[in-house]
Amino acid sequence: MEPNKIRLALAQINTTVGALDLNAELIIENIQKSRENAVDLIVFPELSITGYPPEDLLFKKQFVNKNIEKLHQIASHTRNIAAIVGFADKTDKLYNAAAILYNGEICGVYHKIFLPNYGVFDEKRYFSSGETLLSMEYRGIKIGLNICEDIWASHGLVESQVYEAGAEIIINISASPFNVGKVKERERILTAHAISNRVIFVYTNLVGGQDELVFDGQSFILDELGEIIELGKPFREDLIISDISVQQLRGTRSEDSGYQDRFQYFKGTYKHDSITLKAEETGEIKPPLPGRKERRLSHIGEIYQALVLGTRDYIQKNGFQKVVLGLSGGIDSALTAVIAADALGNDNVIGIAMPSQYTSDASKIDAQQLAENLGMKLYTIPIAPLFDAYKIALKPVFGSLAEDVTEENIQARIRGNILMAFSNKFGWLTLSTGNKSEISVGYCTLYGDMVGGYSVIKDVPKTVVYQLARYRNSFGNGGVIPDNIIEKTPSAELKPDQKDEDSLPAYAILDPILEAYIEKDMDISEIVGLGFPEDVIKDVIRMVDYNEHKRRQGAPGIKITPRAFGKDRRMPLTNRFRGY
């Protein structure tokens, strides 16, 4: 390898929270693969030994101690290769940390300085903040190290690494969960850092599903001009190997008067530690690397792949093989079934059609056609006899009272019972099929259509459900979701001639109001300013606020928006405040 050049590997791995042995094996496997490719330094994601986020496992001494034991085991596999590995470090306090490993030793440890404590992040619950930056010199190149939030916080940390420690390459290890727009935001922030500080940025992100979070990978390397020179695969494991030269960077810095002028502004901002790794020069010529060309997914493609990955990992990491769901002939259950089939394989998805006297012939045909298109098993269990039995049993009390939402919910709960019977009998995980629009306003039944162990599209607005269905029909064995399912008017079919819009605004109106109120915390006057009628806005807000108790009891599901129900949005159940 020529002077001023280093061969880096970014190990974009899919870890499992708590699986310390498996995670360590995965790390060691990637170290060995990188050594075979003459890699000088391999970089792993944040908390890659523990998995992310480990949450209250961090309160268990045995868990923390074993993760440190695993770090030492990993270090023993670093002969003639350096590695940066994320782990939980325990000294007098607990830290979110990154270790520099080389030739069997732990040569340095960096403690994350900025701890996120918003949205889905609770790091201040567990970790203390570090106080000292860490850099290293390796193969004549100065490299700064930081962790995830350290680059999102605008407190001069990167600048201090560049102007005080002389970093030519900044390595950031991350576990940054996906939501719509996140990828562009990451690139914008890191590009600004790279250009303004004339530094090469190496960003290594986690990939995989963890409960409601999905990590999209898409690790990348930026040069000092902000250009992407390497890009990791989206939503898949990847080992990105690249030869990085700092020769051009040094020339750029020497000619950039703005870079020279900035030195005076970042003196004494942070404390610094530095280590030097002494490379063994063998004189071997490194083998050439194959060319790589990864492309970004489209906006809707990212969402679809996030849903597939999140579904696969939740089911498989929790020990399930097969799933069961109700197939109504509607678009929500159709999309859920297709995502599950793409995640697990057609043979591992079982549908249950449960028609009532209100189910249209078209819905029965659509459910059957979808199952045939997917090649999945479909059972049909009519619920009319069970519904009649309920009405007979309740008649002595209900008497001549008119049927209302009570009877509608009974049908939904009969279906929930049937689904859970299949789940119990065969050990299949039940998938619920509600979308974010319905769940937001409570257009769903507790212990009925909300029943299940996982809710695949719970954070997907109804309008996006249609976009995803059309997207999926555009590739592979296209047209898997019958056109009639996409085109027909949505209905719960719990009473004669029922339509969603009998109870709700049109989804094209409902979804923007929900986004404004839930994701952007806008009040009525602000939403009116978007062009929606005040009376409609008030009705929607009233429904959202009233149904918090339902959402609290729903199954976990995949986060794809910036503000998902759950950790992102934590509203009290007992709450007398009214914003309408």
Residues taking part in catalysis: 46, 112, 148
> C-alpha distances in angstroms, 346 versus 10, 332, 433?
33, 18, 17
Q: Count of CB atoms within 10 A of residue 546's CB? A: 11
> C-alpha distances in angstroms, 110 versus 47, 479, 491?
12, 51, 55
Question: Do the beta carbons of residue 16 and residue 317 sit within 8 Å?
Answer: yes
The 3-state DSSP class for residue 42 equals: strand
Residue 228, exposed/middle/buried by CB under 10 A (0-12, 13-18, 19+)? middle
Amino acid at site 464: V
Q: Count of CB atoms within 10 A of residue 523's CB? A: 13
Q: How far apart are CA 108 and CA 182, in angstroms?
A: 31
What single DSSP character describes residue 224?
T
Question: Do the beta carbons of residue 134 and residue 108 sit within 8 Å?
Answer: yes
Helices (H), 474-533: 483-487, 507-514, 524-528
Which residues lie closer than 8 Å to 183 by C-beta, 6 or more apart?
Answer: 216, 218, 296, 302
Question: Do the beta carbons of residue 451 and residue 414 sit within 8 Å?
Answer: no
Q: Count of CB atoms within 10 A of residue 385's CB? A: 9
Question: Do the beta carbons of residue 500 and residue 490 sit within 8 Å?
Answer: yes
Containing H/E element for 540?
A: helix 534-546
Q: Where are the beta strands (DSSP E) in 269-344?
A: 271-277, 323-326
- Of 429, 469, 466, 461, nearest in space to 555 by CA: 429
Question: Do the beta carbons of residue 473 and residue 465 sit within 8 Å?
Answer: no
Q: DSSP readout, 541-574? A: HHHHHHTHHHHHTSPPB---SSS-BTTTB---SS
CB-based burial, 7-18: b 16+ in 10 Å, e otherwise: bbbbbbbbbbbb
What single DSSP character describes residue 381?
-
The 3-state DSSP class for residue 497 equals: coil
Geometric angle at alpha carbon 203, from 267 and 141, rounded to 5°: 55
Question: Do the beta carbons of residue 117 and residue 141 sit within 8 Å?
Answer: no
The 3-state DSSP class for residue 378 equals: strand
